Structure 1
């Protein structure tokens, strides 16, 4: 089915400005391909990847390192967001009595880094473990409409599935895992297996070298990566460093100790651009920032209260003062890149008076004159958390001040990222509210966030349940005709704006800092590392890093 014209326009915007930084970067004299090999690139980010284990990963940077660095997915998306072959050299489909059969034909020369061939048996093993509830795969909705798989021969696998839009998309996100390494591990033990942090064995353009917890992951070029998939990367080594302090990341970027800083602070952009050895690559990302309200807490169980909280927060001020304009005030969980984005839905305004009226109607009143509302014996007081990151902390400070004006007491807590992740994904939900970002997807399936069936799952942070939302989310994941699905998508967005399980703050424009010595870097909506195998360093600028 053809994409709607507007979506094509948004794709152009998403992929614009993501090459060598426009006029800023001076192109070097021609360097032949044979001289582009060598050197080490250092990438810094504030998040420690959770794992190199596909069965356990919950964060976007882990998935990027897996899918672009260490492993190979069956397909990829090209610059126009169209599926193209990768580990699978081709695919075909056939109608069945109750859906369709999808067959992938794999390249027969892709080897795991221990020398074993990657086969259809690895793909089937991965599929079956993801579908097994004992594995507790964090995003089972990816394959919810896939029923079974059959290996036809060593390099051909057929999936049997119900027809649905974006049926190829899961295979852009899922990297097959090595059956000969993990096949004897009990499904319930896969998520915590040492494979993910100590000895991941991949089949991609880079091989695992070392992991120092809380500090770095080190990868080296795979000299045996097939030429048909891109061949050996130009870089000898890729080092991913965990640097939680943004000032430290910036200092190391400007000093040349770091080559790429992912998601730099918006206020740092001017300083990076002013330095002759660095540049900024910015693009509208797939992410949005939000506040999750824990619906298990009595304070947040009434939609009127949640809506009042959003009305009381000046989100335009957050975009301008915290993001320095690098964002768009958000109105819901479907970002502008998606074809179902509700153009006619207006964001909730900044309206403290309406917020006060809603709180009064919900029974939250300041009866003792201390400036804090209460209902019965419960005070309008809660803890708001985030991880160490300056812009998130600044957001919390502004939110705290805004909510104080309507009678809420907010305590702020900055929590180490791994610790925060454990708390918010725990079944017990031991938090009140938090500020984080969420990366949406081209095949959007928000059941993982808002479906009643996911109440105890890792990402149902709001403990939100609305049967009509369940119906809508189930239907839009099955309807292939966009003209039929669009009204349902719009109703979903309207309900969430009314009920506000999250306060949607802004859609993010992502700025990354890059040193000029790193060439042919492309970053766009597909990811920061989308063409890492093509990055190269001018011979005179190379150095080695341990």
Structure 2
């Protein structure tokens, strides 16, 4: 069967990825409209072609059993997901050998679990970047020199140590280092306190004439608020950013809110100055249009920094319009250079996804984790027991 799709305007390079979904059963969903899908019973009674099928769903557990029609057939005949009220109860269950794994280990618990002989810690790179988003509509942060000073004042390695116990990779730009579109040759601002102070001087923010630790401009003190959610990791990031910016004379206040409230009440309506926030890059096309093109500045858009730059817009448009990878590469290299100069946000780090599995389970392999279920990518190779027998080819 051939399916032909016609686009009303120019080519759109990410189109094929956006229209690619897994196989779904037509006898169940063939007549269901898109609006009805989220509430459809298929979500709790799924039918698919994967290595496992749903056996039972209760408030405290999900039981999967092997799909004997799948090739290759999985070694584990059954997998049970137990549902716990919070992270601490999951960790306790793991340490008591009541469960075979913990789907997400907090950085502060990694070292302790690594000392245990009955648990293996697996880590995988995430397609997530934690950034400092700077609101360019703010009178202070609208000045590129101030944004460059903030960027030069932040020691990202130290932030990673404080917030993640070193379990992260440094981020350098708006495109993931794992992407074919990432340009390692772009000249980026590095940690340099002397340059940070000089940039603030150039922007007119001079030392307090009264001899205080802060800076002022036309009698106004240099003060900024760093907003984050109340997760311990984010609070640690905000606290370390505060400490480092104070060193160049910026008076910083940290404010925390609930995770849901951060987005709806502050980021989308642009009611913030600097925000610690993580962005998930789902999929593998590098197109960053939705985060940085000026058409996305409106409150409904995702350009929460309010970044607006004509040359950046043109580069982003060329990057998503062309189907030629070399042309896209050139366009995205140009965009990354502009981003490094304008710094509407400071990418801090890419966290590693750490999960714990009992040493009774073997055959686990890691890979890029765009979403938590990705850790099961090779689940058909997992096994729990071994015995000597004559080798036969698995179907």
Give the TM-score, by structure 1 length.
Answer: 0.59
What is aligned with 2:16?
Answer: 168
**Shift of residue 291, structure 1, vs aligned partner:** 0.9
What is aligned with 2:389?
Answer: none
What is aligned with 1:473?
Answer: 316
Please point out which of 269, 272, 285 is paired with 1:443: 285
In 1, the alpha carbon distance for the partners of 2:200 and 2:80 equals: 56
1:137-152 pair list within 5 angstroms: 147=7
SS of residue matched to 2:7? strand
Contact 2:224–2:252, Cα closer than 8 Å, also in 1: yes
SS of residue matched to 1:529? helix
Change (3 A) 1:233 1:386: farther
Structure 1 unmatched ranges of 5 or more: 1-90, 94-100, 103-145, 149-160, 541-546
Please point out which of 348, 366, 373 is paired with 1:529: 373
Change (3 A) 1:202 1:469: farther
1:420 aligns with 2:280: no
Q: Tell me how many residue pairs correspond in the alignment.
A: 373
Contact 2:181–2:286, Cα closer than 8 Å, also in 1: no
**Larger RCO of the pair (alpha carbons < 8 Å, separation 6+):** 2
In 2, the alpha carbon distance for the partners of 1:242 and 1:450 equals: 37
Change (3 A) 1:383 1:202: farther
In 1, the alpha carbon distance for the partners of 2:145 and 2:321 equals: 32
Contact 2:66–2:78, Cα closer than 8 Å, also in 1: no
Contact 1:234–1:535, Cα closer than 8 Å, also in 2: no
1:28-43 pair list within 5 angstroms: none
Contact 1:330–1:347, Cα closer than 8 Å, also in 2: no
SS of residue matched to 2:300? coil
Please point out which of 394, 403, 417 is paired with 2:245: 403
Change (3 A) 1:225 1:254: same
Structure 2 unmatched ranges of 5 or more: 387-395
Please give the root-mean-square deviation of Cα atoms over the aligned residues, in Å.
Answer: 3.8
Please point out which of 475, 485, 490 is paired with 2:328: 485
In 2, the alpha carbon distance for the partners of 1:203 and 1:464 equals: 44
1:68-467 pair list within 5 angstroms: 101=4, 147=7, 163-165=11-13, 167-172=15-20, 178=29, 180=31, 182=33, 195=39, 202-204=46-48, 209=57, 219-221=62-64, 227=70, 234-239=77-82, 241=84, 243=86, 250-257=91-98, 259-367=100-208, 369=210, 370-376=212-218, 379-424=221-266, 426=268, 428-440=269-281, 441-455=283-297, 456-467=299-310
Please point out which of 359, 368, 386 is paired with 1:516: 359
Contact 1:283–1:509, Cα closer than 8 Å, also in 2: yes
What is aligned with 2:342?
Answer: 499
SS of residue matched to 1:402? helix
SS of residue matched to 1:298? coil
**Shift of residue 386, structure 1, vs aligned partner:** 2.7
Change (3 A) 1:508 1:175: farther
**Shift of residue 501, structure 1, vs aligned partner:** 1.0
Change (3 A) 1:343 1:183: closer
**Shift of residue 494, structure 1, vs aligned partner:** 0.9
In 2, the alpha carbon distance for the partners of 1:494 and 1:415 equals: 33
In 2, the alpha carbon distance for the partners of 1:363 and 1:175 equals: 59
Cα-to-partner distance string for 1:160-218 (whole Å, 9 max, x where unaligned)? x9655454322456887946555576xxxx9xx7x29997664445559467xxxx8x5
